[in-house]
């Protein structure tokens, strides 16, 4: 076990870009939404840099990029509904689990650690995706971006987990791919671990100064 895990009793995992490569399906839904509005597709490379702050900002970034400026509220809300409809139709067609994830979850689960999921993705998508990838049973609790009034980088979802399982934050670890995960973890008093292979608005996540960084989650165990 990595020394970073000493005294850790609960691990909160981010989803998109940390456990799963979800950009192919997110980009397909964004591009279908843009097509509904008669705008050209954005493509996976751009969408990769827009993921991480939930679906509303993802759609707002796509519209701003396509239209050259921020869209009005009515257009945003119509576009968001179209995006959700497209993503709901195929949330897990090309989404894949990153290498080392399943091995790490198996080993951490076997050690009796409490495993939880904190994503900024709308909560309605969590179970369908985790079930399709046979990941659902690892997590004792899952929170989406709309599960609580605040989402990452706010510490509230992480503090909610710690309180729910009655585990002090300094015995908890946040694992994620973006600056929002590391900031939420620090503000909650969690230890923080980053993976460099996910989505972080085109910047290295190491710039957020996490307590640790691993190339693959398998290094955890
Ligand atoms: O939907 C998003 O914006 C990203 O979700 P994540 O928090 O699982 O990276
Ligand atoms: Mg992420």
pLDDT in tens, 37-72: 999 999 999 999 999 999 999 999 999 999 877 778
| Residue-number span of the structural domain to which 172 is assigned | 3-22+95-220
Is the pLDDT confidence value at 210 over 80?
A: yes
Q: How far does residue 98's CA lie from ligand 2's centre (Å)?
A: 12
Catalytic: which of 6, 7, 14, 127?
Answer: 14
Nearest alpha-carbon partner for 140 in 115, 121, 157: 115
Q: 14 CB under 6 A from ligand 1? A: yes
Q: Return the best residue to mutate from 120, 175, 181, 208 for the ligand 1 pocket (most ligand atoms within 8 A of CB).
A: 120
ipTM of the complex: 0.96
Is there a single domain that holds both residue 209 and residue 149?
Answer: yes
Is there a single domain that holds both residue 122 and residue 209?
Answer: yes
Is there a single domain that holds both residue 155 and residue 78?
Answer: no
Is there a single domain that holds both residue 116 and residue 215?
Answer: yes
Q: Which of 46, 62, 89 is the last residue of a domain?
A: 89
Give residue 205's pLDDT band: very low, low, confident or very high (50, 70, 90): very high
Give the DSSP H/E element, type plus range, for residue 31.
helix 23-36
- Let me know: does 9 contact 172? Beta carbons within 8 Å: yes
Paired tokens of 67:
């239209």
* Total-model pTM: 0.96
How far apart CA 99 and CA 4 sit, in angstroms, is 21
Q: 198 CB under 6 A from ligand 1? A: no
Number of domains in the chain: 2
How far apart CA 35 and CA 149 sit, in angstroms, is 31
Mean residue pLDDT across the chain = 96
Q: How far does residue 208's CA lie from ligand 2's centre (Å)?
A: 14
Would you list the DSSP string of 126-140?
Answer: HHHHHHHTT-GGG-S
Nearest alpha-carbon partner for 212 in 175, 179, 167: 175
Is the pLDDT confidence value at 139 over 90?
A: yes
Q: 21 CB under 6 A from ligand 1? A: no
CA 168 to chain centre: 23
Look at ligand 1, atom 4, and give the residue with the nearest C-alpha: 52
Q: How much of the chain exceeds pLDDT 70, in percent?
A: 100
Give residue 2's pLDDT band: very low, low, confident or very high (50, 70, 90): confident
Atom of ligand 1 nearest to the CA of 181: 7
Is there a single domain that holds both residue 106 and residue 12?
Answer: yes
In the prediction, which pLDDT does 55 show?
96
Is there a single domain that holds both residue 112 and residue 169?
Answer: yes
CATH number where 48 lies: 1.10.150.240
Is the pLDDT confidence value at 1 over 90?
A: no
Is there a single domain that holds both residue 137 and residue 216?
Answer: yes
Nearest alpha-carbon partner for 33 in 95, 92, 93, 78: 78
- Percent of the chain as helix, strand, coil, to the nearest 5: 50, 15, 40
Is 7 a known active-site residue? Answer: no
How far apart CA 190 and CA 66 sit, in angstroms, is 38
Q: How far does residue 158's CA lie from ligand 1's centre (Å)?
A: 14
CATH number where 104 lies: 3.40.50.1000
């Amino acid at each position: 076990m990595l020394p970073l895990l000493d005294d850790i009793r609960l691990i909160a995992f981010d989803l998109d870009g940390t456990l799963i490569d979800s950009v192919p399906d997110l980009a397909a839904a964004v591009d279908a939404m843009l097509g509904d509005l008669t705008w050209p597709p954005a493509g996976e490379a751009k969408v990769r840099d827009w993921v991480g702050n939930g679906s509303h900002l993802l759609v707002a970034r796509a519209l701003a990029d396509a239209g050259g400026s921020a869209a009005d509220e009515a257009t945003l809300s119509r576009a968001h509904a179209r995006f959700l409809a497209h993503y709901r139709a195929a949330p897990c067609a090309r989404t894949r689990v990153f290498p080392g994830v399943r091995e790490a979850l198996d080993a951490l689960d076997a050690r009796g650690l409490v495993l939880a999921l904190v994503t900024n993705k709308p909560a309605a998508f969590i179970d369908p995706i985790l079930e399709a990838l046979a990941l659902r049973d690892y997590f004792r609790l899952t929170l989406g971006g709309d599960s609580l009034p605040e989402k990452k980088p706010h510490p509230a979802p992480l503090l909610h987990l710690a309180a729910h399982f009655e585990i002090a934050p300094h015995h908890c670890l946040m694992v994620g791919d973006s600056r929002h995960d590391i900031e939420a973890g620090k503000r909650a008093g969690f230890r923080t671990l980053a993976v460099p292979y996910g989505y972080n608005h085109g910047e290295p996540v190491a710039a957020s100064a996490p307590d640790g960084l691993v190339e693959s989650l398998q290094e955890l165990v």
